Amino acid sequence: MSDLIELRDRMRDFTAERDWGQFHDPKSLILALVGEVGELAEVFQWLPSAHSNALSREEPTATQVRDELADVLLYLVRLADVLDVDLHAAALDKMAKNASKHPSRPL
């Protein structure tokens, strides 16, 4: 099974088991996504740009980075599910649009 479908189904079960579906309207889920992006930003904000990648791999930062990236993905997957959007198909379509907007070589 596809990764994104698997995560969608797991999030759907997780939500149902806690009766949290009542809170998962799109605007609330976008605010939750913003909260997680904010936590990701906080991990990196004061790292010097030139060394941020290397520094973010040292513990305990590395675990925070992994957890925050995961949280962003999980809320994004949940939001797409609530909106009946197939994230994988949407991403492939958008990449095709981006490629035609930004050709890799002069036409």
Residues that bind its own copies (CB under 8 A): 2-5, 7, 10-11, 14, 17-18, 23, 25-28, 30-42, 44-47, 49-50, 52-53, 56-57, 65-67, 69-74, 76-77, 79-80, 82-85, 87-88, 90-95, 97-99, 102, 104
104 backbone dihedrals φ, ψ, rounded to 5°: -80, -20
**Least gap, CB of 68 to its own copies (angstroms):** 9
Output the smallest distance, CB 102 to its own copies, in A: 6
Contact 79, 33 (CB under 8 A): yes
Q: How many CB atoms lie within 10 A of CB 91?
A: 11
Amino acid at 96: A
